[in-house]
Amino acid sequence: MGTWSTTPREGLERLDITDARAVDEAFAAGRFDVCIHAAARCNLDDCERHRTLASTTNVVGTGHVVEACRRTRTRLVYVSTDHVFDGAPASAYVETDAPRPLQHYGVTKREGELLALTLEDALVLRVPLLYGLAGPDEKATFVTSTLERLAAGQPVYADGEQVRYPVLVDEVAAVLARLAEGGVGGVLHFSGAEATTKYSWARRLAHAFNLDVTLVHARKESSLAARPRDNRLGSTRLSALGFEPPLTLTEGLDVLRHQREAAR
Ligand SMILES: NC(=O)c1ccc[n+]([C@@H]2O[C@H](COP(=O)([O-])OP(=O)(O)OC[C@H]3O[C@@H](n4cnc5c(N)ncnc54)[C@H](OP(=O)(O)O)[C@@H]3O)[C@@H](O)[C@H]2O)c1
């Protein structure tokens, strides 16, 4: 079973995790072996502006999912974020480093992690900026909106300061599917290894798709939420478990090009 809460999606069922009874009903009769919990309010400024709403979904809602997993002995895999860190690492953050979120989104995701980790075999997977294509009926991603604007000859303004380590969402899905099988608990990091800014990333997208790179402009993101300068995650545990390193950005761009062609 997959779920949506405000945007209906074919083949998925409606579930609002802030509704304890609805969560209980969804988990009725121990129908799941594993729950991959990725539902959250994710927009940093939105979470800063609407702190109570963000906490209700990301913390209270996660609490409902955790308790349902506990009651039905369902394994929980909780998708978390590099935003639990403060962006000033001496070297890449490893799984044992102490979180120190700078903004309310990070605070709520850290609280969600702590709730998840009250389950004995729960797994928390922290990922950085994700990238990928969106389908025609899906919310635009940074990649799809950048490509659309450039194709239409419109300028793209992207942050040129915050250092990011994007990872292809399809790779995250594959890692989650393997981890869902069990055997690994606690906190794990999975991150791209290449540093970039959204500005440099948009320029690489333009080059890769033969679009006009001069339409891409750097700007300092004006943000309500504090943004970490550099939240590099080290994927030490995953490497030790024998997982392949993530694709380079060049390889990821190849995947995006193939996916786009296949979708035409
Ligand atoms: N995107 C990134 O770069 C990134 C990076 C690190 C970690 N993450 C984590 O990855 C997960 C997914 O993020 P995303 O970028 O895919 O975010 P997204 O596009 O905003 O998706 C969030 C999902 O949560 C659902 N949701 C929101 N409120 C809900 C509620 N009350 N009950 C049930 N479902 C609810 C949404 O459903 P509707 O659309 O139907 O409302 C949507 O499917 C999150 O846990 C986020 O913290 C994302």
Q: Enter the pTM of the model.
A: 0.97
The residue whose C-alpha atom lies closest to atom 32 belonging to ligand 1 is 16
Q: What percentage of the chain carries pLDDT values higher than 70?
A: 99
Q: What is the mean pLDDT of residues 149-177?
A: 97
For the CA of 9, the nearest atom of ligand 1:
40
**What three-state secondary structure class fits 68?**
helix
Cβ atoms of 144 and 134 within 8 Å: the answer is: yes
Q: What is the mean pLDDT of residues 152-178?
A: 96
The residue whose C-alpha atom lies closest to atom 30 belonging to ligand 1 is 16
Number of neighbours of residue 127 by Cβ within 10 angstroms: 26
Residue 124: which H helix or E strand, with range?
strand 123-127
Give me 85's structure tokens.
Answer: 């860190």
Cα(73) to ligand 1 centroid in Å equals: 24
Identify the band that residue 88 occupies on the pLDDT scale cut at 50, 70 and 90. confident
SS3 sequence of 65-101: HHHHHHHHCCEEEEEEEHHHCCCCCCCCECCCCCCCC
Question: Can you give the residue range of the structural domain that contains 129?
Answer: 3-263
Which of the two residues, 236 and 129, has the higher pLDDT score?
A: 129
The pLDDT of residue 170 is 97
Q: CA angle, corner 105, sides to 5 and 25, nearest 5?
A: 30
Give me 159's structure tokens.
Answer: 């942050």
Listed residue (168, 173, 178, 41) closest to 108, CA to CA:
41
DSSP secondary structure letters along 214-260:
GGEEEEPPP-SS---SB-PBP-HHHHHTTPPPPPPHHHHHHHHHHHH
The pLDDT of residue 156 is 97
Tens digits of residue pLDDT in 199-240? 999 999 999 999 999 999 999 877 899 999 999 999 889 999
CA 130 to chain centre: 6
Give me 249's structure tokens.
Answer: 């950005």
Domain CATH for 251: 3.40.50.720
Q: What is the mean pLDDT of residues 173-198?
A: 95
Cα(254) to ligand 1 centroid in Å equals: 26
The pLDDT of residue 29 is 67
Give me 70's structure tokens.
Answer: 């506990």
What total number of domains does the chain contain? 1
Cα(40) to ligand 1 centroid in Å equals: 4
The pLDDT of residue 192 is 94
The pLDDT of residue 222 is 79
Tens digits of residue pLDDT in 99-123? 999 999 999 999 999 999 999 999 9
Cα(140) to ligand 1 centroid in Å equals: 13
**How many C-alpha atoms does 34 have within 13 Å on its Cβ side?**
17
H-helix segments, 92-183: 104-116, 142-151, 169-180
Residue 205: which H helix or E strand, with range?
helix 198-208
The pLDDT of residue 220 is 82
Least confident of 85-89, 144-148, 174-178, 185-189: 85-89
* Helix, strand, coil abundance in the chain, percent, nearest 5: 40, 15, 40
Listed residue (150, 134, 125) closest to 217, CA to CA:
150
For the CA of 43, the nearest atom of ligand 1:
20
137 pLDDT more than 80:
no
The pLDDT of residue 227 is 93
The residue whose C-alpha atom lies closest to atom 41 belonging to ligand 1 is 6
